[in-house]
Amino acid sequence: MKANINARSDNPDGYVSSFANVRRPDWLLNDSLDDMEWRLEPSVKSYPNSHFTLNWDLFSDSNLLGLDGYWRDLARWCTYSYMESDANECNKTSSLVAWARLNRSLFVWLCDARKCRRIEDITRADLALWEEYVRSQNLAASSVEAKLGCFKSLFTMREVFGVGIGFDPYMQNGSLIRRAKQIGAPDGHTETIEPEVLFVLVDAALNNLKNYKDVLSRLELKRQVYEEFSGGAGAYKARAGESVVRLYDDVEALYASGLVIIFVLLGERRHELHNTDVSDVASVLNEEAEELIGLVDKTALTSSGRKTSRPMTAELSLAFEVIGLLTKPLRESEGYDGGVFFLRPPIPYSANKNPSIFLSATTINTLLDKFLVHTNSELKRLRPHMFRRAFSMMWAWRFEVGELYHLSKMLYHNGSEYIRAYTEDEDVFKFLTEAQRELMARVMEDAILGDRSLHGGAGRSMRRYGRILQSKVSVVTPGAAREFVETLIDRHDYTLVPQVDGMCMMSRGRERFAKCSTDGRGPDYANRNDAHCTSCVGFGVSSSRKNVWEGRRSAHEKVLQNSDNPLVQKAARESMERAEVVLRWVGEEEHE
């Protein structure tokens, strides 16, 4: 239960100059809120202690105006109030430190650069100068948005803090985001792992994991050599015929391979790795449990997080087993008997005499990037969240890549339960829209450029758009086609729904013409059938669906041969004719 922050001593300046009468919260490890350094209760046990440390001794006062004490105390009070208030969703110290550091940087600037005496004295001129200061830091728009948001909180949180500014910096809806985009550099879009590329990464990771015993034996040889000889690196090279650096590269690639399989098949966010417990992993590896228990805290609205339960497969068990074997020597040498499963690889990462034993976010990114080098991938970088986006894209493209056939064959799956971690998580749906948009842009672009023939009503629309584009440019290049397609999608609000027999491509203004519509306003996909689709303005089919239509023709032919009912025979004959029309379409494509 959060404390009542209004139960504090009266102060004419509107802030607490001493926290003597304020209850020390449970999330603070210090004895007093007056301390210059706050140590917060770690909400993620494998994060380093520095992540949960706040230093308040950053204010200076070159003009000796006595302002530093005011702004330092106010910064501490606001941090305390922010965490204790129910006016926001902050209930994790990992979230609190992020907000507190942003707010602290604003207060330091108000004290040192602006020499503001009180928070109530802040004017719109200060806001304009704060925006210019933030602009000078050359930050991405998302980072700028966070810094401007701190300034706005001086107004929106004024009742929580007990003090605040007298004007709303960004009153209109969306004005803060628009201003952040004007000030900041465009955020770099996370590179997309397309389905075919994902298959390659998964295949490489599985091959690495299958050869884990070779890497472990070389790692054990290195340990023995280092214990026997003082010049360990040279002795190992003489004994093994390879450098220690080469061994370390293979160790990192093996560890990263385990992470790739875990991110792909479990659908975990990066922070969930830090919450993985040794005992939970042991339960599934020892076949005492069929599902891995985990914990989500960043998207959970409770202080204890939200428990997850994810099905295990043989590939996942192998990934966890290998990572457990890789980290076992480190666990033993450090005498660590805590519950965190993911420790850093047993190789040096820095000159720090006391490096953290845990697997940091930076180390995860380093491992994944080195994995790309081993696979000779064209991707520039690999990040955990890219796998969630990739799976969403694969789900949207599932009929384009053979109904997930390649992945199912690669992983020897008989069922689809492994996708539950994605399909039951609302977070993944924000990527699904992007995946469908990218698929639509790719289909339209390929059709206009002639790289893919699209038939049906959608195919006619694409050929018409192609003629329009040709009339506008002298040479139809891929760049021109993509720009033209993006404009079409935005202007006409196109949507694409992939189906096993083709795709439904509709602009918002033409949805009422959908043949399957039951209300005259938009498509009703439950009412789809051969007759509706083959005559619909939004239906598109390419040669990738040839086997589906061959199967349908064969099925209708059997019905025609085995039925004596004239009505059934008539329906089967008409359905065969429609299937043959589609097969002629794709047959023409194959002979082009």
User: Residue 368: how many CA atoms within 13 Å on its side-chain side?
Assistant: 24
CA distance 370 to 256: 8
* pTM, rounded to two decimals: 0.64
- Centroid of chain to Cα 50: 25
CA distance 43 to 544: 49
| Per-residue tokens: 94 | 């990992």
Residue 13 DSSP SS3: coil
| Per-residue confidence in pLDDT tens, the chain, 592 aa | 333 333 333 444 445 556 777 888 889 998 888 888 999 998 877 677 788 899 998 766 555 566 788 888 899 999 999 998 888 877 788 889 999 999 999 999 998 889 898 999 999 999 999 999 999 998 888 889 999 999 999 999 999 888 999 999 998 888 898 899 888 887 665 677 877 788 889 889 999 999 999 999 999 999 888 888 777 888 889 888 999 999 999 999 999 999 999 888 777 777 777 778 888 888 878 877 666 765 554 444 444 455 566 667 788 889 999 999 999 888 888 777 778 888 888 887 654 555 678 888 888 989 999 899 888 888 888 888 888 777 767 766 666 666 555 555 555 444 555 555 555 555 555 666 676 777 778 788 888 777 778 888 888 888 888 888 888 777 777 778 888 888 888 888 887 777 888 888 888 888 888 888 888 888 888 888 888 888 888 888 888 788 888 998 999 999 999 888 989 999 999 999 999 988 988 876 554 4
Name the residue ranges covered by the structural domains of the chain.
37-183, 195-424
Do the Cβ atoms of 568 and 559 come closer than 8 Å? yes
CA distance 267 to 27: 30
- Centroid of chain to Cα 71: 37
Give the 3-state secondary structure of 197-222.
Answer: HHHHHHHHHHHHHHCHHHHHHHHHHH
Q: How far is CA 302 from each of CA 92, 339, 473, rounded to the nearest angstrom?
A: 9, 21, 56
First and final CA of the chain: distance in angstroms? Answer: 70
Q: Which string of DSSP letters, residue by residue, matches 408-439?
A: HHHHT-SSSGGGHHHHT-GGGHHHHHHHHHHH
- Taking the CB of residue 518, how many other CB atoms lie within 10 A of it? 11
What is the chain's length? 592
Beta bridge partners of 541: 455
Listed in sequence order, the residues at least 6 apart from 275 whose beta carbon sits closer than 8 Å to its beta carbon are 44, 294, 295, 296, 297, 305
Do the Cβ atoms of 180 and 148 come closer than 8 Å? yes
CA distance 257 to 371: 7
Which fold does the domain 195-424 belong to in CATH?
hpI Integrase; Chain A (1.10.443)
- Taking the CB of residue 292, how many other CB atoms lie within 10 A of it? 24
The DSSP output letter for 513 is G
